Amino acid sequence: MTTYTEEYIREKLTKELDATHVAVEDQSDGCGAKFNVLVASPKFVGKPLLQRHRLVNAALEEELKTIHAFSMKTLTPEQLEQMQQKQE
């Protein structure tokens, strides 16, 4: 079984989706089986949630065969900026 790291997932999503922001949290105590991600990409502009999730799933197609739990939040760069402003 291959284990994936937060850094690996972050780099792969950044590259595959031209992401401007990728936050990855390994929720499996380091064994690489459960991840939560937040991805902001201009590729998500004008796309509904299902299409955004399909883009992420396609980027991690091989990895998701061994990752047991994967949750994601997908935003456009503008949506991320608005979310960050609300948190301030």
**What confidence tens digit (pLDDT) does each residue in 22-75 have?**
999 999 876 778 999 999 999 999 999 999 999 999 999 999 999 999 999 999
Is the pLDDT at 88 greater than 80? The verdict is yes
* pLDDT, position 39: 98
Q: b/e map of 28-65 (b: 16 or more CB within 10 Å)?
A: eeeebbebebbbbbebbeeeeeeebbebbeebbeebee
Provide the strand spans (E) within 1-88: 21-26, 34-40, 69-75
CB distance 10 to 22 below 8 Å:
yes
Residue 18 has pLDDT above 60, yes or no: yes
Averaged pLDDT, 4-16: 95
Q: Residue 21 is part of which domain span?
A: 6-87
CATH at 36: 3.30.300.90
- Quote the number of domains for the chain: 1
Residue 1 located in a structural domain: no
